[in-house]
């Protein structure tokens, strides 16, 4: 049973999710429908993700920049599929400085169009390529209902936008970005997932191909956790952007874009959570170790500070000395907030020269002598980090169902929920039929899917690969 | 004479400024009037400032968060002076998700109102205070003309918003923020300035008192480089936000806000610039040392990489091996970009075991043996950093004119330009008259201005302190 008043994790994940986000003070509903406030504890998670990824992005030679929030409407209209995809989601500024504007401005839903207009201005020759640019910013895609972190009108993200002289170089960046995202999910957030290519109906508006990292949530739904798009020459041609090639020929640059947003925090919360609240991997946890002296003063408190001082060289540590709250209340609070390791120290422990260390992920408690605290914490932090990833990988594999018939497919959708690995003919009509009848959509063609002869579960037609299907967020 | 085609620094600072911003690739004009694109080289300056300041902000215990971009219009209207100040500058969203909105949304010009609505929701007792929150974000204040970095419709900034139980604690934060800004300007950007209080007519819309850091630019104009506002209880009362005090009394929290924006980069460019372009203090320079091998291959190039490898442990270094560009072209390019130190190395230098090191700020060149490069670079970087600040301080003091009569005041405005230290009666009508007749505005009452009996330069009335006057950006 939950120690804090949370909806049941196993039967009411959505309600549990909202409870945890609000009660752990990760975020709150904003006064404007569809918008959210990211509170300091939630924002610290985003800062940690930014720090991890920004280093990888810079190591690749991609540089950060900042492009304007406002995009003239006619820019968005240059690439037909792009505007068709985004028009219904736009927030539009019609008044500026007290006057009606002659051209309405879209609040950026993504920045391809405004960036490419500038890239065109800045380049004339193949020597000016590649362009390797990223930006961290806010974007707006109108939503009527708010689903904190997972679906909000405004969210934070990074968007990388590179341009290359050749398809090969372009694909190299597309795949680097996808792998960089996988590394962030695996190593930092301890989240497992499947890298793959989206079907035509599920790809980004204006992309040649969209690549995704799909992660399975505890309720068997799939979360599209980031995307990397090969835009081909769609945008450079729409924007009439060409440069002079090595042999004076006209070269339309090949482009890509890749984005990773605060949605990832929604995935993080669900993936590792349990009946008592958040469970954070140590790598991303704003507080990795909390020390609770009992009582919160005198001997135990002095020792708590000593231990904190020692651990601070390697860990993010907090001592909870707040008066007027019981030890039990504090334990629940820090469990709700998902702090990976808790050290309990009482006056008697000080005399005995030991503390109790409690793991958030397994609830395991051990008694540890003073001189071993630092080494045990180091060992446990590593175990938790790798353990959470392994656990999520096992959960994903255990909930991936290989089926060969439509009956089996439907049965999984009705009973088990998870990823379904099935043959599909790649015909969009067949994909639409399966979606209508089962609610399952194609999640991706896994990059490592072997060639395999088979029959489409939908129509029995020829299929060469198994696709992943599932319910999506 | 300038080596790069720039307008004359001494006679045409505005044109020089635009030339440098565009040619050094710091920023560019965006397709939307009033907006700018911050290019990677310019954005790297902002990232460096962010890093420096964010550390100081966190050390104070202030935590980062993120509040929504959109503010319902009726929020802004709650504090009368606030809305009167900002209404003419708003960008307004009237369409969302394809539908006309029932309440128009302002794109945040600053976030007091949206934050305080949430603070009210999150607090009930004095135990919930202080609230110490900061956010890094974009804001919009409509401008018809763009002045890159200095005045743009959208800009980046941090805005700190804290709330305290008492006036004393509140003022402690207001002054801490102002000192933190001064530290950033002095130590990181090598910019000197005067801390002081704004007059009532120049303060922030809704503030009790506004504190500023004013820096003198080479043309004698003053740049308001950041502000820290004591908002008193104006907003808490307007928002009807009270908490229960220690003795169950009703306490309206005391609030402050403090902001520092990309405008600072405009100040940085002008303060240290010269006829050849940017001059960057090493602390903030994205590239601190550039190594130019001549020719850009073979012996000199191999040695250049060796030196680079050694220096990289302590400095941000770039080797310019680009082919097809002459050494002279490269020297000009890196001077334009303000790189503090340049190492030139030719094939003959390799044989002789020496390089030439050239300072950007003084153009001084010295020959240095291989084994002394690292220690000389360390020494020179320190000298440049402190030298630039001292030079700017001297310039400011040399251009601060103490006057006792209106005739002297007007003469300075006509001939010398700079800060004018003069007695003023603190009557806004008198201030307005001086502005109309001389264009000079009150910049601030310096915090260290001693009490001194005198007569107002405008009306001859009683004055107790000298204020600083000047032209402003």
Tell me phi and psi for residue B60, to 5 degrees: -75, -10
- The answer as to whether A394 is a domain residue is no
Residue pLDDT, tens place only, A148-159: 999 999 999 999
Nearest residue of A to residue B139 by CA position?
A69
- The answer as to whether B279 is a domain residue is no
B165 to B16, B243, B244: CA distances (angstroms): 49, 9, 10
Q: Which of A35, A68, A96 sits opposite B68 (nearest CB)?
A: A35
Please check whether residues A40 and A90 belong to one and the same domain: yes
Please check whether residues A247 and A314 belong to one and the same domain: no
Q: Which of B88, B118, B122 sits opposite A97 (nearest CB)?
A: B88
Nearest residue of B to residue A324 by CA position?
B127
Q: Please say which residue of A219, A243, A272 terminates a domain.
A: A272
Number of domains, chain A: 3
Structure tokens at A32: 């404007």
- The answer as to whether B386 is a domain residue is no
Q: Please say which residue of A243, A272, A301 terminates a domain.
A: A272
Spatial separation of the C-alpha atoms in residues B382 and B369, rounded to whole Å: 20
Residue pLDDT, tens place only, A353-366: 999 999 999 999 99
Asked whether the beta carbons of residue A95 and residue B90 sit closer than 8 angstroms, the reply is yes
CA dihedral (A110, A116, A121, A127) positive or negative: positive
CA dihedral (A302, A303, A308, A310) positive or negative: positive
Per-range mean pLDDT, top range of A73-82, A295-304, A388-397: A388-397
Q: Is A28 strand, coil or helix? A: strand
Please, which pLDDT band fits residue B298 given cuts at 50, 70 and 90?
confident
Asked whether the beta carbons of residue A97 and residue B31 sit closer than 8 angstroms, the reply is no
pLDDT at A1 over 50: no
Min Cα distance B375 → chain A (Å) is 27
Q: In chain B, helix, strand, coil percent, each to 5?
A: 40, 30, 35
* Cβ neighbour number for residue B258 with a 10 Å cutoff: 26
pLDDT at A97 over 80: yes
Q: Which of A64, A69, A88 sits opposite B140 (nearest CB)?
A: A69
A50: β partners:
none
Nearest residue of B to residue A26 by CA position?
B65
Residue from A26, A62, A68 whose CB has the most chain B CBs within 10 Å, to mutate:
A68
Please check whether residues A309 and A183 belong to one and the same domain: no
Nearest residue of A to residue B65 by CA position?
A40
Q: What is the CATH number of the domain that holds A135?
A: 3.30.930.10
Residue pLDDT, tens place only, B240-275: 999 999 999 999 999 999 999 999 999 999 999 999
Residue pLDDT, tens place only, B128-184: 999 999 999 999 999 988 899 999 999 999 999 999 999 999 999 999 999 999 999
A378 to A382, A383, B384: CA distances (angstroms): 6, 9, 43
Residue pLDDT, tens place only, B408-455: 999 999 998 899 999 999 999 999 999 999 999 999 999 999 999 999
Per-residue pLDDT, averaged over A42-60, amounts to 98
Q: What are the CB-based long-range contacts (under 8 Å, 24+) for A464-468? A: A465/A423, A466/A402, A466/A421, A466/A422, A466/A423, A466/A424, A467/A199, A467/A421, A467/A422, A467/A423, A467/A424, A467/A442, A467/A443, A468/A194, A468/A196, A468/A214, A468/A222, A468/A400, A468/A419, A468/A420, A468/A421, A468/A442, A468/A443, A468/A444
Please check whether residues A176 and A302 belong to one and the same domain: no
**pLDDT confidence of residue A296:** 66
Q: In chain A, helix, strand, coil percent, each to 5?
A: 40, 30, 35
Asked whether the beta carbons of residue B32 and residue A68 sit closer than 8 angstroms, the reply is yes
Chain A partners within 8 Å of B107 (Cβ): 69, 93, 107
A164: β partners:
A254
Q: Is A376 exposed, middle or buried (0-12, 13-18, 19+ CB in 10 A)?
A: middle
Q: Please say which residue of A381, A412, A440 terminates a domain.
A: A381
Q: Which of B39, B43, B105 sits opposite A32 (nearest CB)?
A: B105
Asked whether the beta carbons of residue A70 and residue B137 sit closer than 8 angstroms, the reply is no
Please check whether residues A267 and A314 belong to one and the same domain: no
Nearest residue of B to residue A23 by CA position?
B122
| CB crowding A378-413: b at 16 or more within 10 Å, else e | eebbeebbebbbebbbebbeebebebeebeebbebb
Chain B partners within 8 Å of A121 (Cβ): 28
Asked whether the beta carbons of residue B137 and residue A142 sit closer than 8 angstroms, the reply is no
- A137 touches B: beta carbon within 8 Å: yes
* Cβ neighbour number for residue B365 with a 10 Å cutoff: 11
End-to-end CA gap in chain A: 27
Asked whether A156 and A141 are in contact (CB, 8 A), the reply is: no
Per-residue pLDDT, averaged over A326-336, amounts to 95
Per-residue pLDDT, averaged over A376-381, amounts to 98
Structure tokens at A55: 């280093």
- The answer as to whether B277 is a domain residue is no
Per-residue pLDDT, averaged over A449-467, amounts to 96
Spatial separation of the C-alpha atoms in residues B36 and A90, rounded to whole Å: 21
Asked whether the beta carbons of residue A107 and residue B107 sit closer than 8 angstroms, the reply is yes
- The answer as to whether B88 is a domain residue is yes
Q: What is the ipTM of this complex?
A: 0.96
- The answer as to whether B389 is a domain residue is no
Prior bond of B295 cis (ω within 30°): yes
Asked whether the beta carbons of residue A107 and residue B28 sit closer than 8 angstroms, the reply is no
Confidence (pTM): 0.96
Lowest mean pLDDT segment, chosen from A19-23, A26-30, B5-9, B50-54:
B5-9
Q: In B, residues 98-117, which contact A (CB 8 Å cutoff)? A: 98, 104-105, 107, 114, 117
Asked whether the beta carbons of residue A107 and residue B105 sit closer than 8 angstroms, the reply is no
Q: Residues with Cβ < 8 Å from A328, sequence gap 6 or more?
A: none
Q: Which of B69, B93, B117 sits opposite A92 (nearest CB)?
A: B93
Structure tokens at A153: 């009108």
Lowest mean pLDDT segment, chosen from A138-147, A454-463, B177-186:
A138-147
- The answer as to whether A428 is a domain residue is yes
Please check whether residues B176 and B249 belong to one and the same domain: yes
Please check whether residues A336 and A460 belong to one and the same domain: no
Residue from A24, A40, A75 whose CB has the most chain B CBs within 10 Å, to mutate:
A40
Residue pLDDT, tens place only, A218-244: 999 999 989 999 999 999 999 999 999
**pLDDT confidence of residue A416:** 85
* Edge-to-edge order in the sheet of strand A289-294: A317-319, A289-294, A341-346, A354-359, A365-369
Closest CA to A132 of B22, B288, B39: B39
Asked whether B403 and B421 are in contact (CB, 8 A), the reply is: yes
Residue pLDDT, tens place only, B388-402: 999 999 999 999 999
Structure tokens at B433: 């008259």
Q: What is the CATH number of the domain that holds A311?
A: 3.40.50.800
Please check whether residues B236 and B312 belong to one and the same domain: no
Asked whether A34 and A145 are in contact (CB, 8 A), the reply is: yes
A255 to A113, A121, A252, B38, B242: CA distances (angstroms): 12, 16, 9, 21, 54
Q: Which of A37, A68, A121 sits opposite B154 (nearest CB)?
A: A68
**pLDDT confidence of residue B1:** 43
**pLDDT confidence of residue A243:** 97
A and B: number of Cβ contacts within 8 A = 160
Higher pLDDT, B331 or A203: B331
Min Cα distance B37 → chain A (Å) is 5
Domain range spanning residue B128? Answer: 13-272
- The answer as to whether A278 is a domain residue is no
**pLDDT confidence of residue A77:** 86
Chain B partners within 8 Å of A28 (Cβ): 118, 121-122
Spatial separation of the C-alpha atoms in residues B94 and B72, rounded to whole Å: 11
Q: β-strand B400-402 against B419-423: which pairing, if any? A: parallel
Please check whether residues A99 and A136 belong to one and the same domain: yes
Mean predicted lDDT score pLDDT of chain B: 95
Q: In B, residues 21-60, which contact A (CB 8 Å cutoff)? A: 28, 30-32, 35-40, 43-44, 46-47
Please check whether residues B368 and B412 belong to one and the same domain: no
Asked whether the beta carbons of residue A97 and residue B90 sit closer than 8 angstroms, the reply is yes
pLDDT at B85 over 70: yes
Mean predicted lDDT score pLDDT of chain A: 95
Asked whether A81 and A205 are in contact (CB, 8 A), the reply is: yes
Chain B partners within 8 Å of A140 (Cβ): 69
Please check whether residues A76 and A194 belong to one and the same domain: yes
Please check whether residues A417 and A338 belong to one and the same domain: no
Structure tokens at B271: 């303060």
């Amino acid at each position: 049973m939950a120690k804090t008043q949370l909806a049941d994790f196993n039967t009411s994940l959505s309600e549990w999710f909202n409870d945890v986000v609000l009660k752990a003070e990760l975020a709150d509903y904003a006064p404007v429908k569809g918008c959210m406030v990211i509170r300091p504890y939630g924002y610290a998670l985003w800062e940690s993700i930014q720090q991890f990824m920004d280093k990888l992005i810079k190591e690749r030679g991609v540089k950060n920049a900042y492009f304007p929030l406002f995009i003239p409407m006619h820019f968005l209209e240059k690439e037909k599929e792009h505007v068709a995809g985004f028009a219904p989601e736009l927030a539009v500024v019609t008044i500026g400085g007290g006057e009606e504007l002659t051209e309405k401005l879209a609040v950026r839903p993504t920045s391809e169009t405004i960036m490419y207009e500038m890239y065109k201005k800045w380049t004339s020759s193949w020597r000016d390529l590649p362009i390797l640019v990223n930006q961290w910013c806010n974007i707006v895609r109108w939503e009527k209902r708010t689903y904190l972190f997972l679906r909000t009108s405004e969210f934070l993200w990074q968007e990388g936008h590179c341009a290359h002289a050749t398809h090969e170089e372009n694909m190299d960046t597309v795949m680097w970005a996808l792998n960089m995202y996988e590394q962030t999910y695996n190593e930092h957030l301890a989240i497992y997932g499947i890298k793959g290519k989206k079907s035509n109906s599920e790809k980004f508006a204006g992309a040649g191909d969209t690549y995704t990292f799909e992660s399975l949530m505890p309720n068997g739904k799939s979360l599209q956790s980031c995307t990397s798009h090969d835009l081909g020459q769609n945008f450079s041609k729409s924007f009439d952007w060409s440069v002079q090639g090595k042999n004076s020929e006209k070269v339309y640059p090949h482009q890509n874009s890749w984005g990773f947003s605060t949605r990832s925090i929604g995935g993080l919360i669900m993936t590792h959570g349990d009946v008592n609240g958040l469970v954070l991997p140590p790598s991303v946890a704003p507080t990795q170790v909390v020390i609770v002296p009992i009582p919160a003063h005198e001997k135990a408190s002095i020792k708590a500070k000593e231990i904190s001082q020692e651990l601070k060289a390697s860990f993010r540590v907090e001592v909870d000395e707040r008066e007027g709250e019981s030890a039990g209340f504090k334990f629940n609070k820090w469990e709700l907030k998902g702090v990976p390791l808790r050290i309990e120290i009482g006056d008697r422990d000080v005399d005995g020269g030991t503390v109790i260390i409690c793991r958030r992920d397994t609830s395991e408690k051990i008694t540890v002598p003073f001189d071993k605290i630092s080494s045990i914490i180091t060992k446990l932090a590593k175990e938790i980090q790798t353990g959470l990833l392994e656990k999520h990988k096992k959960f994903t594999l255990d909930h991936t169902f290989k089926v060969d018939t439509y009956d089996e497919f439907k049965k999984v959708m009705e009973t088990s929920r998870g990823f379904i690995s099935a043959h599909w003919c790649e015909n969009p009509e067949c994909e639409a039929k399966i979606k209508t009848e089962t609610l399952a959509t194609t999640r991706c063609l896994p990059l490592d899917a072997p060639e395999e002869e088979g029959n489409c579960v939908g129509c029995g037609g020829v299929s060469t690969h198994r696709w992943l299907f599932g319910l999506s967020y």
